[in-house]
Amino acid sequence: MNVQLALDRMTIPEAIEMARTVQDHVDWIEVGTSLIKEFGMDSVKAIKKAFPDKVVVADMKTFDNAKYEFELCYQAGADVATVMGAAPLVTVETCMDTAAKYGKTVMIDLLHTSADQQAYLFRYETAISCMHVSKDEQEQKGHALHSTFHAGELTALPDGLKLAVAGGITLQSLPNLLEMRPFVVIVGSAITKAANPRQAAFDIKQVLEQHKEIRING
């Protein structure tokens, strides 16, 4: 299981500083959509330059123009780029083709997709599928990830699926989510807005490590 630090709503120097503070306790670093929208590919280039050994995720949220947008991300140094699963299938397929050409990875954001769409998207075995509750759903509707995706739905997840989870994840909500056996746990605000981000990242990583041990031993 990997912890992906999501960097949003900050400047590039602030993002680098935050990532430096917590780098020992996170595995992947996400250049958040807000950074990409505000600063463009300079944000991806700067993060990859500062952290060449980390997996860098460009949260591009592509919905169209897939080849152009994914090439921008991969040429800027991203190891993973995101596409919206609700986009036309030709867009998702073009992302998959571009990733294969560059030897990189696609993360498919399942925000606002139906169960049928998800079942289809799970066929892209080399992609990471991200269960995501959006900021607006959290803030305006009070939705939370661990109550949005129920155990019944999880049985439909194919074996070997590389799953990511994202959206308002906290130290408290994490244990429930681990039942989904995620490959990537994406955490933003619970680390970046914490009084002590390094401690917050450490605590989250500890929970993942403990869960791994329980699974191995029990």
Ligand X SMILES: O=C(CO)[C@H](O)[C@H](O)COP(=O)(O)O
Q: Is 168 in the site for ligand X (CB under 6 A)?
A: yes
Distances (CA, A) of 67 to 27, 98, 102, 168: 27, 6, 11, 30
Q: Is 94 in the site for ligand X (CB under 6 A)?
A: no
CB-wise, 16 or 187, nearer to ligand X? Answer: 187
Shortest distance, CB of residue 179 to ligand X, whole angstroms? 19
- Residue 159 and residue 193 in contact, taking contact as beta carbons nearer than 8 Å: no
Q: Which of 31, 78, 166, 200 binds ligand X (CB under 6 A)?
A: 166
In the complex with ligand X, which residue's Cβ is closer, 81 or 186?
186
Residues of this chain, 63-92, that bind ligand X according to CB under 6 A: none
Interface residue with ligand X among 77, 85, 182, 188 (CB under 6 A) is 188
Residues in CB range of 141: below 8 A, 6 or more apart: none
Query: What are the residues whose beta carbons fall under 8 Å from the beta carbon of 53, sequence distance 6 or more?
Result: none
Shortest distance, CB of residue 218 to ligand X, whole angstroms? Answer: 29
What CA–CA distance (Å, rounded) separates 130 from 163? 6
Q: Applying CB under 6 A, does 57 fall inside the site for ligand X?
A: no
Q: Does 137 bind ligand X (CB under 6 A)?
A: no
3-state SS, residue 35? helix
- Interaction residues for ligand X, span 20-49 (CB under 6 A): 30, 32-33
Tokens of 98: 């571009």
SS3 percent helix, strand, coil of the chain, rounded to 5, is 50, 20, 30
Q: How far is the CB of 56 from ligand X (least distance, A)?
A: 13
Interaction between residue 19 and ligand X (CB under 6 A): no
- Interacting residues of 38 by C-beta distance below 8 A, sequence separation 6+: none
Distance, CA of 76 to CA of 68 (rounded, Å): 12
Distance (Å, whole) CA 83 – CA 21: 29
**182 binding ligand X? (CB under 6 A):** no
Of residues 5, 6, 164, 208, which one binds ligand X by CB under 6 A?
A: 6
Q: How far is the CB of 104 from ligand X (least distance, A)?
A: 19
Rule CB under 6 A: say whether 5 interacts with ligand X: no
Residues making contact with ligand X (CB under 6 A):
6, 8, 30, 32-33, 59, 134-135, 166-169, 186-190
